[in-house]
A and B are shown apart, each in its own frame.
Chain A
Amino acid sequence: MATVAAVIASTHHPFYYRASTSTGADRPPFADEWVAKIEAFRETLTRARADVLVMVGSDHFHQLWLDNMPQFLVGKAPFYDANWYNEEREFGLPRMFVRGDEELSAHLLREGMDAGFDLAFSNELRIDHSLTCPLITLRPQADLPIVPIYTNIFAPPLPQPKRFVELGKTIRQLVESWPSDKRVAIIGTGHLSLELGGPRQFGPHGPDPEFDRKAVQWIASGDLGSALAEVSLESLWLPGNATHGFMDFMLMMGVAGENVKADYTDSLDLFHTMEAYFTWYPEAAK
């Protein structure tokens, strides 16, 4: 059976690419520290020697639209083009191209449906910065095949937080039951407190540093009990109007396992939002 070589959860910050590649007067003062943290984080994936990446993120109204909105969708394609005109325009993100692993996609779809998740699928999916940001930070050569999984954290009505956790637990079980000798890293990105298009956006810190402090503690310690007790679809509006992206972190907590401490934790307090990086090595725990 396949091996879960690493479980990795992080924020995805579309400004990282431009900050890390800019020079001279254009280079922001926080860029060097940010790059150093990302390079250390990247090493946590490199040392896992993964063959395939399962990547969890959320389409930002690029391909998935309100006339036909899936809650959870698995990409099943041999290739994925990546990044969009408006991401090039606003963030300077490059166009990218990655291979897919259709066999693992098919396994996750079939077995996921049989495990109680009626997953949508796409045979032609152009992925966006929720998946390319972690490629840029963790695997910039983008040389490993991926299976993209999109969640709806954006367009109400949304699935409940507990469904994200349950899907994460299911993804972990499905990867571990995949008849393959490959090493799979499961990577997901979300947000801590975040405000977009509201009065608290682009402040000197994230909109709710207290939420961020608690959230980092929940993730680092695998404290799903506290996260599920305190977080609801309604409560997530309070720390910032785009904080429902935290449910992708909760999904990844489900992948990592209840009360399983992260083997690697780091964070960076930036303007607008706090960055946070977590890695678990399930093999070491066995």
Chain B
Amino acid sequence: MSKYLLNKFLYTVDRDPELVERYRADPRGTVTWWEAERANVILNLPGAERSTWLKFTDTEREALATHDYPKLFELGAHHFLTLTLFIALFERDYDEPLGFQLEYARNLSHVTMPYPDIST
């Protein structure tokens, strides 16, 4: 499990308008590129001082590559990061106010307490 890395993906994409659009249009390609080029970049450090050990599990990579936010919830990705980024990706496709947010809730309606642990 690399919940931290899932969160790092969601966080770094969410704060970059170009990456938000790229992830919307080409999720699998964006995840492949990000894991190769960005996963080991320590934020706020020069690129040469990168980490060497961070990578997704196959399940995590597939969840991100398929925009599968119920799976991300199940894997313990931080619910706030997932929600914020996916609103940016898909709210625009719904006519009604909160249309996407309510569908998001319905797609998680099978979840029971306690929710998956988000500790990193």
Q: Is B one of A's binding partners? A: yes
User: Which single member of A62, A198, A242 contacts B105 (CB below 8 Å)?
Assistant: A198
User: Which single member of B80, B104, B119 contacts A242 (CB below 8 Å)?
Assistant: B80
B82 within 8 A of A: yes
Assess A196 versus B83: contact at CB under 8 Å? Given A66-B4, A66-B120.
yes
User: Which single member of A65, A156, A196, A203 contacts B43 (CB below 8 Å)?
Assistant: A65
* Size of the chain B interface, CB-CB below 8 angstroms: 36
Shortest CB distance B30–A (Å): 17
- Main secondary structure, interface of A, reads loop
Shortest CB distance A245–B (Å): 11
A144 within 8 A of B: no
B residues less than 8 Å from A61 (CB atoms): 11, 78, 80-81
A residues less than 8 Å from B104 (CB atoms): 197, 201
- Please determine whether B17 and A241 come into contact, CB atoms closer than 8 angstroms: no
Kindly specify which of B31-39, B59-67, B109-117 makes contact with the partner chain.
B109-117
Assess A199 versus B111: contact at CB under 8 Å? Given A61-B80, A65-B43, A86-B84.
yes
- Interchain CA distance A200-B43 in the complex, whole Å: 33
A155 within 8 A of B: yes
- Please determine whether B111 and A85 come into contact, CB atoms closer than 8 angstroms: no
- Please determine whether B15 and A85 come into contact, CB atoms closer than 8 angstroms: yes
A residues less than 8 Å from B120 (CB atoms): 66, 155-156
- Interchain CA distance A238-B114 in the complex, whole Å: 8
- Please determine whether B119 and A197 come into contact, CB atoms closer than 8 angstroms: no
User: Which single member of A67, A68, A84, A197 contacts B15 (CB below 8 Å)?
Assistant: A84
The B-contacting residues of A in range 74-131, CB under 8 angstroms, are 84-86, 89-90
- Interchain CA distance A200-B108 in the complex, whole Å: 9
| Extra A-B contacts (5), CB below 8 Å, given A67-B43, A156-B119, A241-B115 | A61-B78, A61-B81, A196-B80, A203-B105, A237-B113
Chain B positions near chain A (C-beta within 8 angstroms): 4, 7-8, 11, 14-15, 17, 42-44, 73, 78-84, 87-88, 98, 101-102, 104-106, 108-111, 113-115, 118-120
Leading 10 A-B pairs by shortest Cβ distance? A197-B79, A197-B83, A199-B108, A156-B119, A202-B101, A199-B109, A201-B105, A196-B80, A199-B111, A197-B82
18 residue pairs of the A-B complex, CB under 8 angstroms, read: A60-B80, A61-B11, A61-B78, A65-B11, A66-B4, A66-B8, A67-B42, A67-B44, A86-B88, A154-B78, A155-B120, A156-B118, A156-B120, A197-B82, A198-B79, A199-B110, A202-B98, A238-B113
